[in-house]
Amino acid sequence: MNVMLIGAQGSGKGTQAQLLEDQLNLKACASGELLRDAIARGTPLGLAAKPYYDNGDLVPDDLVAGLVLERLKELGDASGIILDGFPRTIAQAEALDRLLAARGKTLDAVVEMQVDDDALVKRIAGRFTCAGCGEGYHDAFKTTKSPGVCDRCGSTQFVRRRDDTEEVVRSRLAAYHAQTEPLIDYYRHLGKLKTVDGMAEIGAVHRAIARALDGDKL
Ligand code: AMP
């Protein structure tokens, strides 16, 4: 089964994708991760994408579709995929249909995670992760037990995503409403849309998604 999660940045798509990966043996394809990796490695695609990424703007469709295609090839045809952050525009949705069709696949379900903008800004603008082990923290919601020391690995080095400032988060939310929300109607008309409350706690959101997908005979 091939599933896509749709929701504003910070709605918890990454966390839910990981839970679904483990539970349903799906492989994740997260466009934001693919872009961060390409930017960090300084590939030609990463260099072209960086100015858009740093501003919180959408990266041009052809660049992102190129990365997604590489990832699909890398994953092979053995397992289902869970798309996180792609597609974000109607043009990308059409490109995805073509990419999947060329591999004899289709997108089976789209799960919309509904969230509130102001709560999202609070959630995203306080995020940081341990540079040693990648454990995620938050200034208000999940601090380290001992100040400045990672609970999991003891590292004292932490990183913040450069696009996790309030200003950039507001700009990304505006991009989401303008460019990505139309996809919700697009997939509703195709009969693929499921909607869950993304503001609930992580386990409850996961159960709601699992229930929504179960109707599709996972
Ligand atoms: P994310 O990790 O999904 O929040 O994405 C972080 C940033 O990567 C976004 O603010 C965009 O600049 C860029 N990005 C990720 N996925 C896409 C996409 N499908 N289309 C265009 N830009 C994207």
Q: What is the pLDDT of residues 170-200, one digit of tens each?
A: 888 888 899 899 999 999 999 999 999 998 9
30 vs 162, which has greater pLDDT?
A: 30
Whether the CB-CB separation of 6 and 184 falls below 8 Å is answered with yes
Report pLDDT for 215: 61
pLDDT digits (tens, 9 = 90+) for 52-90: 998 878 899 999 999 999 999 998 877 899 999 999 999
Q: 49-83: b or e for each residue (b if 16 or more CB lie within 10 Å)?
A: bbeebeebbbbebebbbbbbbebbeebeeeebbbb
pLDDT bucket at 165, cuts 50 / 70 / 90: confident
Phi and psi (nearest 5°) for 149?
Answer: -125, 130
On the question of pLDDT at 10 being above 90, the answer is: no
How many angstroms does the Cα of residue 168 sit away from the middle of ligand 1? 12
> Residue 112: what pLDDT?
96
The tokens for 85 are 């952050």
By most ligand atoms within 8 Å of CB, the mutation choice from 88, 127, 183 for ligand 1 is: 88
What is the arithmetic mean of pLDDT over 31-42?
A: 95
Ligand 1 mutation target, pool 13, 18, 35, 110, most atoms within 8 A of CB? 35
Q: What is the pLDDT at residue 9?
A: 81
Catalytic residue IDs: 13, 88, 127, 161, 172
Q: How far is the CA of 139 from the centre of ligand 1 (A)?
A: 23
pLDDT at 168: 85
pLDDT above 50 for 218: no
Distance from the CA of 147 to the center of ligand 1, in angstroms?
A: 31
- The string of pLDDT tens digits covering residues 95-137 is 999 999 998 899 999 999 998 999 889 888 898 999 999 999 9
Closest atom, ligand 1, to C-alpha of 55: 12
CA of 146 to the centre of ligand 1 (A): 33
The band of 164, judged by pLDDT with boundaries at 50, 70 and 90, is confident
